[in-house]
Amino acid sequence: MKQRKITEQTEQKVNKKGTSASTMTGSAVKKMKKKLSNTGEGGGAGVSGAGGGESEVGSVGVDREVGATGEVGKAYTADTADCADGEIGAVGSIDEVGEVDEVGGIDEVGEVDEVGAVGEGLHGREKINTYFQAIQKRGENLFVPYIVAGDGGLERLAEQITLLEQSGVAAIEIGMPFSDPVADGPTIQKAGMRALDAGITLEKVLDMLEKTRATRKVPIILMTYVNPIFAYGVETFARRCKEAGVDGLIVPDVPMEEETLLTGALDKFDVAFIRLVALTSTEERMRQLAERSEGFLYAVAVRGTTGARANYEDTVASYLQKLKNLSPVPVLAGFGVSNASQAKELSQHCDGVIVGSTIVDLFHKGKDDQVRELVADSLVRGR
């Protein structure tokens, strides 16, 4: 009874703070832009008051300050804030992707087609596991692109999903635009603002995914923050995810100690809950997160937010190898992976990579061919 009361209080506090894509329009967007530019609050989207945990993000103003830069997406966070075990910090500029020869799409590979053929009957953990295992059996690394839902419109989102599936990706991570994206760097923040300006909401995205579910075979991973889930209703959200064909969920501002706020409903509707782990996590915490993670384990490979990086710390290779030894599910490195060279290098130490900011930027600039080239050139065959 005491735990239920704490949970209800937590939901009430969280619902009072932050603005979700499902409720934010018009003047609220303009106000939020000013807030991003000169904020004393930023990052309030976390689980404010949602209990302890090594990776609490909602305690803004204590662990991190947001820079007043006067430019949307330039509010960098300090090195001391965790993001579901991923630290938040300043980010660098995006790298350009070079020209490479085009490589055929996934339809040319019989084994993945066989997975897709049974994909319609699979959902959640089983679909992710089956799809990943087929790719790994073929001796390839796992490449998961990140895109922002509705950056360019919902029609554009459907086109991007089709293009990426045909390019041979292992899954697609779709980020929901949110007013206070504490884990995101400037490229993704700006993409989220464009989507919010266009009136994109969580409900619209789920509706579109449900309507187009039969047209795709690749697993879909949704990345969002906890406020929109609470505003929508946790169980209703989990049910709609299943109906829409969302196989997995990433929530970067919910630490391990508070994840029971979501896991009951996600288990009920068979939506895989993908955990994040940080470079700074203790080995015991790494072990716990690896054992709990479903679908794959998201290894945050930098001390900071998403965004392109020129290089990585010397300890990243051993960190990824340690996680791979601990984890019963595939380990994918993300945050800062910006080109094919980095994707291949990191894949030597884990099962694959997640690439976000570069793909978001290329899609925004209409460089679809370079997205295909990036995916093709990042795949490692004959592992």
Q: Is residue 208 part of a domain?
A: yes
Q: Mean pLDDT score of the chain, rounded to an integer? A: 76
245-300, pLDDT tens digit by residue? 999 999 999 999 999 999 999 999 999 999 999 999 999 999 999 999 999 999 99
17-48, pLDDT tens digit by residue? 444 444 444 444 444 444 444 433 333 333 33
Catalytic residue among 82, 173, 258, 377: 173
- Our count of domains for the chain comes to 1
What pLDDT band is residue 59 in, cutting at 50, 70 and 90? very low
Residue 307 pLDDT exceeds 80: no
Residue 82 pLDDT exceeds 50: no
pTM greater than 0.85 (yes/no): no
Q: Is residue 179 part of a domain?
A: yes
Range of the domain at 278: 106-378
Share of the chain above pLDDT 70, in %: 66
Q: Is residue 303 part of a domain?
A: yes
Q: Is residue 20 part of a domain?
A: no
Q: Is residue 306 part of a domain?
A: yes
Question: Is there a catalytic annotation at residue 184?
Answer: yes
Q: Domain of 114: which CATH number?
A: 3.20.20.70
In sequence order, the β-bridge partners of residue 148 are: 175
Q: Is residue 154 part of a domain?
A: yes
Q: Is residue 68 part of a domain?
A: no
Which pLDDT score is estimated for 51? 39
Q: Is residue 315 part of a domain?
A: yes
Catalytic residue among 85, 87, 180, 184: 184
